[in-house]
Structure 1
Amino acid sequence: GNENPLYEHYDKILEVCKRFDVTISLGDGLRPGSGTDANDPMQIDELLIQGELVQRARNKGVQVMVEGPGHMPLTQIEMNIKLMKRICDGAPLYVLGPLTTDAAAGYDHIAGAIGGAIAASCGANFLCYVTPAEHLCLPSIDDVKQGVIASRIAAHSADVAKGLPLAVLNDLKLSQARFNLDWEKMFDYMLEPELARKRKNESESNTDDYCTMCGELCAMKTFRETPN
Protein backbone atom coordinates (compact mmCIF):
# COMPACT_ATOMS: atom_id res chain seq x y z
CA GLY A 1 0.00 0.00 0.00
CA ASN A 2 3.02 2.33 -0.19
CA GLU A 3 4.58 4.24 -3.06
CA ASN A 4 7.78 3.12 -4.78
CA PRO A 5 10.44 3.93 -2.14
CA LEU A 6 12.58 5.73 -4.72
CA TYR A 7 9.62 8.04 -5.34
CA GLU A 8 8.46 8.27 -1.72
CA HIS A 9 11.94 9.21 -0.45
CA TYR A 10 12.99 11.16 -3.55
CA ASP A 11 14.10 14.26 -1.64
CA LYS A 12 16.35 12.19 0.62
CA ILE A 13 17.82 10.43 -2.41
CA LEU A 14 18.50 13.79 -4.02
CA GLU A 15 20.44 14.89 -0.94
CA VAL A 16 22.66 11.81 -1.29
CA CYS A 17 23.09 12.41 -5.02
CA LYS A 18 24.04 16.03 -4.43
CA ARG A 19 26.59 15.05 -1.79
CA PHE A 20 28.34 12.53 -4.06
CA ASP A 21 27.79 14.37 -7.37
CA VAL A 22 25.59 11.63 -8.84
CA THR A 23 23.54 12.13 -12.01
CA ILE A 24 20.23 10.29 -11.92
CA SER A 25 18.19 8.78 -14.75
CA LEU A 26 14.41 8.92 -14.42
CA GLY A 27 13.11 5.67 -15.90
CA ASP A 28 9.68 5.33 -17.45
CA GLY A 29 8.12 2.21 -15.95
CA LEU A 30 4.92 2.82 -17.93
CA ARG A 31 6.65 3.08 -21.28
CA PRO A 32 4.78 1.32 -24.10
CA GLY A 33 5.47 -2.40 -24.30
CA SER A 34 3.90 -2.59 -27.75
CA GLY A 35 3.23 -0.15 -30.55
CA THR A 36 -0.48 -0.04 -29.75
CA ASP A 37 0.30 1.29 -26.26
CA ALA A 38 2.34 4.24 -27.50
CA ASN A 39 1.27 7.62 -26.12
CA ASP A 40 -1.59 6.18 -24.08
CA PRO A 41 -2.88 8.15 -21.05
CA MET A 42 -0.74 6.22 -18.56
CA GLN A 43 2.45 7.00 -20.45
CA ILE A 44 1.58 10.70 -20.65
CA ASP A 45 0.57 10.87 -16.95
CA GLU A 46 3.94 9.36 -16.01
CA LEU A 47 5.73 11.81 -18.30
CA LEU A 48 4.14 14.71 -16.41
CA ILE A 49 5.48 13.25 -13.16
CA GLN A 50 8.92 12.87 -14.74
CA GLY A 51 8.80 16.56 -15.62
CA GLU A 52 8.08 17.42 -11.98
CA LEU A 53 10.92 15.18 -10.79
CA VAL A 54 13.32 16.89 -13.21
CA GLN A 55 12.54 20.27 -11.66
CA ARG A 56 12.84 18.93 -8.10
CA ALA A 57 16.24 17.44 -8.92
CA ARG A 58 17.48 20.67 -10.48
CA ASN A 59 16.23 22.66 -7.51
CA LYS A 60 18.46 20.45 -5.34
CA GLY A 61 21.44 20.91 -7.66
CA VAL A 62 21.34 17.35 -9.00
CA GLN A 63 21.87 16.60 -12.68
CA VAL A 64 19.15 14.49 -14.24
CA MET A 65 18.32 12.70 -17.49
CA VAL A 66 15.05 11.14 -18.62
CA GLU A 67 14.36 7.74 -20.17
CA GLY A 68 12.02 7.53 -23.12
CA PRO A 69 9.74 5.07 -24.86
CA GLY A 70 10.41 1.53 -26.03
CA HIS A 71 7.80 0.70 -28.70
CA MET A 72 6.37 3.36 -30.99
CA PRO A 73 5.16 3.66 -34.60
CA LEU A 74 7.30 5.79 -36.91
CA THR A 75 4.67 8.50 -37.20
CA GLN A 76 4.56 9.12 -33.43
CA ILE A 77 8.27 9.35 -32.65
CA GLU A 78 8.91 13.00 -33.53
CA MET A 79 5.88 14.21 -31.63
CA ASN A 80 6.80 12.10 -28.60
CA ILE A 81 10.40 13.30 -28.46
CA LYS A 82 9.38 16.94 -28.72
CA LEU A 83 6.70 16.46 -26.06
CA MET A 84 9.17 14.85 -23.67
CA LYS A 85 11.69 17.62 -24.24
CA ARG A 86 9.01 20.23 -23.60
CA ILE A 87 7.62 18.70 -20.42
CA CYS A 88 11.06 17.82 -19.01
CA ASP A 89 12.49 21.27 -19.77
CA GLY A 90 15.08 20.05 -22.25
CA ALA A 91 16.66 17.45 -19.96
CA PRO A 92 18.90 14.94 -21.77
CA LEU A 93 16.68 12.24 -23.22
CA TYR A 94 17.60 8.56 -23.35
CA VAL A 95 15.41 6.38 -25.59
CA LEU A 96 15.05 2.59 -25.60
CA GLY A 97 15.10 2.07 -29.36
CA PRO A 98 12.35 2.93 -29.92
CA LEU A 99 11.18 -0.17 -31.75
CA THR A 100 9.09 0.78 -34.76
CA THR A 101 7.41 -2.63 -35.13
CA ASP A 102 6.67 -5.52 -32.79
CA ALA A 103 7.10 -8.09 -35.59
CA ALA A 104 10.89 -7.94 -35.98
CA ALA A 105 11.91 -10.48 -33.33
CA GLY A 106 15.36 -11.74 -34.26
CA TYR A 107 16.03 -8.41 -35.96
CA ASP A 108 14.98 -6.01 -33.21
CA HIS A 109 18.41 -4.35 -33.44
CA ILE A 110 17.33 -3.15 -36.90
CA ALA A 111 13.86 -2.03 -35.78
CA GLY A 112 15.49 -0.23 -32.85
CA ALA A 113 18.04 1.45 -35.08
CA ILE A 114 15.30 2.75 -37.38
CA GLY A 115 13.44 4.29 -34.46
CA GLY A 116 16.65 5.49 -32.83
CA ALA A 117 17.76 7.34 -35.94
CA ILE A 118 14.45 9.20 -36.09
CA ALA A 119 14.40 9.91 -32.35
CA ALA A 120 17.97 11.21 -32.31
CA SER A 121 17.39 13.40 -35.36
CA CYS A 122 14.40 14.93 -33.51
CA GLY A 123 16.28 15.70 -30.31
CA ALA A 124 16.96 12.52 -28.32
CA ASN A 125 20.44 12.65 -26.77
CA PHE A 126 21.27 9.02 -26.01
CA LEU A 127 20.30 5.74 -27.70
CA CYS A 128 19.94 2.44 -25.87
CA TYR A 129 21.17 -0.34 -28.13
CA VAL A 130 18.88 -3.31 -28.80
CA THR A 131 20.24 -6.74 -29.66
CA PRO A 132 18.87 -9.37 -32.08
CA ALA A 133 18.02 -11.45 -28.99
CA GLU A 134 15.53 -8.90 -27.63
CA HIS A 135 12.19 -10.51 -26.66
CA LEU A 136 13.62 -13.99 -27.37
CA CYS A 137 16.54 -14.94 -25.14
CA LEU A 138 19.63 -13.69 -23.37
CA PRO A 139 22.06 -12.08 -25.83
CA SER A 140 25.38 -13.60 -26.83
CA ILE A 141 28.56 -11.57 -27.24
CA ASP A 142 27.90 -11.37 -30.98
CA ASP A 143 24.32 -10.22 -30.31
CA VAL A 144 25.68 -7.38 -28.19
CA LYS A 145 28.15 -6.45 -30.92
CA GLN A 146 25.44 -6.40 -33.59
CA GLY A 147 23.20 -4.31 -31.35
CA VAL A 148 25.89 -1.75 -30.59
CA ILE A 149 26.86 -1.42 -34.26
CA ALA A 150 23.24 -0.93 -35.32
CA SER A 151 22.81 1.74 -32.66
CA ARG A 152 26.02 3.48 -33.73
CA ILE A 153 24.76 3.58 -37.31
CA ALA A 154 21.50 5.12 -36.09
CA ALA A 155 23.31 7.72 -33.98
CA HIS A 156 25.72 8.63 -36.77
CA SER A 157 22.87 8.91 -39.27
CA ALA A 158 21.09 11.31 -36.93
CA ASP A 159 24.26 13.35 -36.42
CA VAL A 160 24.63 13.69 -40.20
CA ALA A 161 20.96 14.67 -40.53
CA LYS A 162 21.45 17.38 -37.89
CA GLY A 163 24.55 18.66 -39.69
CA LEU A 164 26.96 18.04 -36.82
CA PRO A 165 30.36 19.02 -38.25
CA LEU A 166 32.41 15.96 -37.28
CA ALA A 167 29.80 13.51 -38.59
CA VAL A 168 29.36 15.40 -41.86
CA LEU A 169 33.14 15.72 -42.30
CA ASN A 170 33.61 11.98 -41.65
CA ASP A 171 31.20 11.06 -44.44
CA LEU A 172 32.68 13.66 -46.77
CA LYS A 173 36.19 12.29 -46.24
CA LEU A 174 34.90 8.77 -46.86
CA SER A 175 33.22 9.85 -50.10
CA GLN A 176 36.41 11.55 -51.26
CA ALA A 177 38.40 8.41 -50.49
CA ARG A 178 35.83 6.35 -52.39
CA PHE A 179 36.14 8.65 -55.41
CA ASN A 180 39.92 8.18 -55.27
CA LEU A 181 39.56 4.41 -54.78
CA ASP A 182 41.73 4.78 -51.67
CA TRP A 183 40.57 1.71 -49.79
CA GLU A 184 42.66 2.10 -46.65
CA LYS A 185 41.45 5.66 -46.16
CA MET A 186 37.87 4.50 -46.78
CA PHE A 187 38.24 1.93 -44.03
CA ASP A 188 39.49 4.63 -41.65
CA TYR A 189 36.17 6.49 -41.86
CA MET A 190 33.84 3.46 -41.69
CA LEU A 191 31.98 2.56 -38.49
CA GLU A 192 33.31 -1.00 -38.56
CA PRO A 193 36.49 -1.02 -40.65
CA GLU A 194 37.39 -4.61 -39.70
CA LEU A 195 34.27 -6.02 -41.32
CA ALA A 196 34.60 -3.80 -44.39
CA ARG A 197 38.23 -4.84 -44.87
CA LYS A 198 37.32 -8.53 -44.39
CA ARG A 199 34.52 -8.42 -46.98
CA LYS A 200 36.74 -6.60 -49.48
CA ASN A 201 39.50 -9.18 -49.01
CA GLU A 202 36.99 -12.00 -49.56
CA SER A 203 35.97 -10.42 -52.85
CA GLU A 204 36.66 -12.17 -56.13
CA SER A 205 38.61 -9.09 -57.16
CA ASN A 206 42.27 -9.04 -56.19
CA THR A 207 42.72 -5.53 -57.46
CA ASP A 208 42.58 -2.35 -55.42
CA ASP A 209 40.94 -0.51 -58.30
CA TYR A 210 37.34 -1.55 -57.72
CA CYS A 211 35.07 -3.91 -55.82
CA THR A 212 32.99 -6.71 -57.30
CA MET A 213 29.67 -4.86 -56.91
CA CYS A 214 30.21 -3.06 -60.24
CA GLY A 215 33.43 -4.73 -61.34
CA GLU A 216 34.89 -3.31 -64.55
CA LEU A 217 31.85 -0.99 -64.80
CA CYS A 218 32.91 0.89 -61.64
CA ALA A 219 31.91 4.53 -62.17
CA MET A 220 34.94 5.82 -60.29
CA LYS A 221 37.32 3.67 -62.34
CA THR A 222 35.65 4.71 -65.61
CA PHE A 223 35.82 8.41 -64.71
CA ARG A 224 39.51 8.17 -63.78
CA GLU A 225 40.34 6.43 -67.08
CA THR A 226 38.30 8.77 -69.27
CA PRO A 227 40.43 11.43 -71.02
CA ASN A 228 39.61 15.00 -70.07
Structure 2
Amino acid sequence: MQHKTIADTMNLTIDFNDIDDGQFADVIEKIRAERRALLKATQEKYAKSRAQKALIEQQKQRLRVQLQCLYGAVVLIMLSLGWVFSNLEGTTPSLDEPGITHRTIEMTRDHRLDGIQLSQVERYFTAKFLVGDWRFRGANVEGNGITIHIEMPQPLSLEPHYQREYIRNSLCPKGDSELWLSVEPANLTIHLYSDHPSRGQSALCAS
Protein backbone atom coordinates (compact mmCIF):
# COMPACT_ATOMS: atom_id res chain seq x y z
CA MET A 1 0.00 0.00 0.00
CA GLN A 2 1.33 3.48 -0.93
CA HIS A 3 1.77 5.84 2.08
CA LYS A 4 -0.08 9.20 1.95
CA THR A 5 1.26 12.46 3.30
CA ILE A 6 -0.70 14.99 5.35
CA ALA A 7 -1.34 16.94 2.17
CA ASP A 8 -2.91 13.86 0.61
CA THR A 9 -5.16 13.37 3.59
CA MET A 10 -6.52 16.90 3.13
CA ASN A 11 -7.68 16.27 -0.40
CA LEU A 12 -8.49 12.56 -0.43
CA THR A 13 -10.92 10.44 1.55
CA ILE A 14 -9.29 7.34 3.02
CA ASP A 15 -11.22 4.13 2.74
CA PHE A 16 -10.47 2.57 6.09
CA ASN A 17 -11.92 -0.73 4.83
CA ASP A 18 -8.77 -1.13 2.74
CA ILE A 19 -6.51 -0.77 5.81
CA ASP A 20 -5.68 -3.78 7.88
CA ASP A 21 -6.20 -3.62 11.61
CA GLY A 22 -2.47 -3.77 12.16
CA GLN A 23 -1.80 -0.86 9.79
CA PHE A 24 -4.55 1.47 11.09
CA ALA A 25 -2.61 2.62 14.15
CA ASP A 26 0.50 3.19 12.02
CA VAL A 27 -1.41 5.38 9.52
CA ILE A 28 -2.97 7.49 12.27
CA GLU A 29 0.39 7.95 13.97
CA LYS A 30 2.05 8.89 10.67
CA ILE A 31 -0.69 11.49 9.99
CA ARG A 32 -0.18 12.94 13.44
CA ALA A 33 3.60 12.99 12.97
CA GLU A 34 3.27 14.83 9.65
CA ARG A 35 0.91 17.34 11.22
CA ARG A 36 3.33 17.95 14.07
CA ALA A 37 6.20 18.38 11.60
CA LEU A 38 4.13 20.83 9.51
CA LEU A 39 3.14 22.82 12.61
CA LYS A 40 6.76 22.93 13.80
CA ALA A 41 7.99 24.12 10.39
CA THR A 42 5.31 26.84 10.31
CA GLN A 43 6.19 28.01 13.82
CA GLU A 44 9.90 28.10 12.98
CA LYS A 45 9.15 30.11 9.82
CA TYR A 46 7.15 32.75 11.71
CA ALA A 47 9.68 32.85 14.55
CA LYS A 48 12.46 33.51 12.04
CA SER A 49 10.37 36.24 10.38
CA ARG A 50 9.70 37.93 13.73
CA ALA A 51 13.40 37.76 14.63
CA GLN A 52 14.35 39.39 11.31
CA LYS A 53 11.79 42.18 11.85
CA ALA A 54 13.07 42.79 15.38
CA LEU A 55 16.66 42.97 14.08
CA ILE A 56 15.69 45.47 11.37
CA GLU A 57 13.86 47.63 13.95
CA GLN A 58 16.91 47.58 16.24
CA GLN A 59 19.13 48.68 13.34
CA LYS A 60 16.71 51.52 12.51
CA GLN A 61 16.65 52.66 16.13
CA ARG A 62 20.45 52.57 16.32
CA LEU A 63 20.66 54.60 13.12
CA ARG A 64 18.22 57.21 14.49
CA VAL A 65 20.30 57.58 17.66
CA GLN A 66 23.50 57.96 15.63
CA LEU A 67 21.89 60.62 13.41
CA GLN A 68 20.67 62.55 16.46
CA CYS A 69 24.15 62.44 17.99
CA LEU A 70 25.68 63.60 14.70
CA TYR A 71 23.18 66.47 14.43
CA GLY A 72 23.95 67.55 18.00
CA ALA A 73 27.68 67.48 17.30
CA VAL A 74 27.23 69.62 14.15
CA VAL A 75 25.16 72.18 16.08
CA LEU A 76 27.81 72.38 18.83
CA ILE A 77 30.57 72.86 16.25
CA MET A 78 28.62 75.64 14.53
CA LEU A 79 27.96 77.40 17.84
CA SER A 80 31.63 77.08 18.82
CA LEU A 81 32.78 78.51 15.49
CA GLY A 82 30.35 81.41 15.84
CA TRP A 83 31.67 82.17 19.31
CA VAL A 84 35.30 82.04 18.09
CA PHE A 85 34.66 84.39 15.15
CA SER A 86 32.69 86.74 17.39
CA ASN A 87 35.64 87.01 19.77
CA LEU A 88 38.13 87.45 16.94
CA GLU A 89 36.26 90.25 15.20
CA GLY A 90 34.51 91.85 18.12
CA THR A 91 30.76 92.00 18.38
CA THR A 92 29.31 92.54 14.93
CA PRO A 93 26.02 94.48 14.87
CA SER A 94 22.94 92.71 13.58
CA LEU A 95 20.70 93.92 10.77
CA ASP A 96 17.76 93.41 13.12
CA GLU A 97 19.00 96.19 15.42
CA PRO A 98 17.72 99.72 14.78
CA GLY A 99 19.84 101.90 12.56
CA ILE A 100 22.09 99.04 11.45
CA THR A 101 22.81 98.70 7.73
CA HIS A 102 25.17 96.69 5.55
CA ARG A 103 27.36 99.76 5.33
CA THR A 104 27.87 100.05 9.10
CA ILE A 105 28.58 96.31 9.35
CA GLU A 106 31.26 96.55 6.67
CA MET A 107 32.74 99.58 8.43
CA THR A 108 32.96 97.61 11.67
CA ARG A 109 34.79 94.78 9.91
CA ASP A 110 37.21 97.16 8.22
CA HIS A 111 38.08 99.00 11.45
CA ARG A 112 39.70 96.37 13.64
CA LEU A 113 40.59 98.92 16.34
CA ASP A 114 37.02 100.20 16.30
CA GLY A 115 35.82 96.60 16.67
CA ILE A 116 37.74 96.33 19.95
CA GLN A 117 36.36 99.67 21.08
CA LEU A 118 32.86 98.56 20.10
CA SER A 119 33.11 95.51 22.37
CA GLN A 120 34.09 97.72 25.32
CA VAL A 121 31.17 100.06 24.68
CA GLU A 122 28.66 97.23 24.39
CA ARG A 123 29.80 95.66 27.65
CA TYR A 124 29.54 99.02 29.43
CA PHE A 125 26.02 99.86 28.27
CA THR A 126 24.73 96.28 28.59
CA ALA A 127 25.62 96.42 32.30
CA LYS A 128 24.21 99.95 32.64
CA PHE A 129 20.77 98.96 31.31
CA LEU A 130 20.66 95.43 32.70
CA VAL A 131 17.68 96.26 34.94
CA GLY A 132 14.74 98.59 34.43
CA ASP A 133 12.47 99.34 31.48
CA TRP A 134 15.12 101.02 29.30
CA ARG A 135 16.99 98.75 26.94
CA PHE A 136 20.39 98.87 25.26
CA ARG A 137 19.75 97.93 21.62
CA GLY A 138 23.29 97.66 20.31
CA ALA A 139 26.07 99.89 19.02
CA ASN A 140 27.66 100.40 15.63
CA VAL A 141 30.65 102.19 14.15
CA GLU A 142 29.92 105.29 12.08
CA GLY A 143 32.89 107.12 10.66
CA ASN A 144 35.35 107.77 13.50
CA GLY A 145 32.71 107.35 16.20
CA ILE A 146 30.47 104.80 17.86
CA THR A 147 26.70 105.23 18.07
CA ILE A 148 24.84 103.65 20.99
CA HIS A 149 21.13 102.86 20.60
CA ILE A 150 18.92 103.11 23.70
CA GLU A 151 15.19 102.29 23.66
CA MET A 152 12.85 103.72 26.31
CA PRO A 153 9.26 102.53 26.93
CA GLN A 154 7.68 106.00 26.64
CA PRO A 155 8.87 109.19 24.90
CA LEU A 156 10.28 111.96 27.07
CA SER A 157 7.98 114.94 27.58
CA LEU A 158 10.75 117.36 26.65
CA GLU A 159 11.61 119.57 23.72
CA PRO A 160 14.24 118.10 21.38
CA HIS A 161 17.08 120.28 22.62
CA TYR A 162 16.23 119.41 26.25
CA GLN A 163 16.22 115.73 25.30
CA ARG A 164 19.75 116.09 23.92
CA GLU A 165 20.84 117.79 27.14
CA TYR A 166 19.28 114.96 29.11
CA ILE A 167 21.23 112.42 27.06
CA ARG A 168 24.53 114.24 27.66
CA ASN A 169 23.98 114.70 31.40
CA SER A 170 22.29 111.38 32.30
CA LEU A 171 23.19 108.74 29.73
CA CYS A 172 26.68 109.60 28.51
CA PRO A 173 29.64 108.21 30.49
CA LYS A 174 31.05 110.65 33.01
CA GLY A 175 34.24 112.45 32.16
CA ASP A 176 36.28 110.32 34.58
CA SER A 177 34.80 107.01 33.36
CA GLU A 178 37.36 104.36 32.43
CA LEU A 179 35.35 103.74 29.24
CA TRP A 180 36.93 106.82 27.67
CA LEU A 181 40.38 105.23 28.06
CA SER A 182 39.16 102.32 25.95
CA VAL A 183 37.37 104.20 23.18
CA GLU A 184 39.47 107.31 22.60
CA PRO A 185 40.04 108.78 20.10
CA ALA A 186 36.63 107.56 18.91
CA ASN A 187 33.58 109.69 19.63
CA LEU A 188 30.49 108.41 21.41
CA THR A 189 26.99 109.30 20.27
CA ILE A 190 23.86 108.12 22.06
CA HIS A 191 20.66 107.72 20.07
CA LEU A 192 17.57 107.67 22.29
CA TYR A 193 14.14 106.62 20.97
CA SER A 194 10.88 105.03 22.08
CA ASP A 195 8.59 103.81 19.30
CA HIS A 196 10.90 103.99 16.26
CA PRO A 197 14.61 104.83 15.80
CA SER A 198 13.89 107.36 13.06
CA ARG A 199 11.91 109.51 15.52
CA GLY A 200 14.57 109.55 18.25
CA GLN A 201 17.15 112.11 19.36
CA SER A 202 20.95 111.81 19.25
CA ALA A 203 23.59 113.64 21.26
CA LEU A 204 27.37 113.58 21.16
CA CYS A 205 29.01 112.67 24.45
CA ALA A 206 31.93 114.75 25.67
CA SER A 207 34.85 113.08 27.43
Q: Same fold (TM over 0.5)?
A: no
The structure carrying a bigger strand percent of its residues is: 2
Larger radius of gyration: 2
Interval containing the TM-score (normalised by the shorter chain): under 0.3
Give the TM-score, by structure 2 length. Answer: 0.22
Which of 1 and 2 has higher RCO (CA within 8 Å, sep 6+)? 2
Give the TM-score, by structure 1 length. Answer: 0.21
The structure carrying a bigger helix percent of its residues is: 2
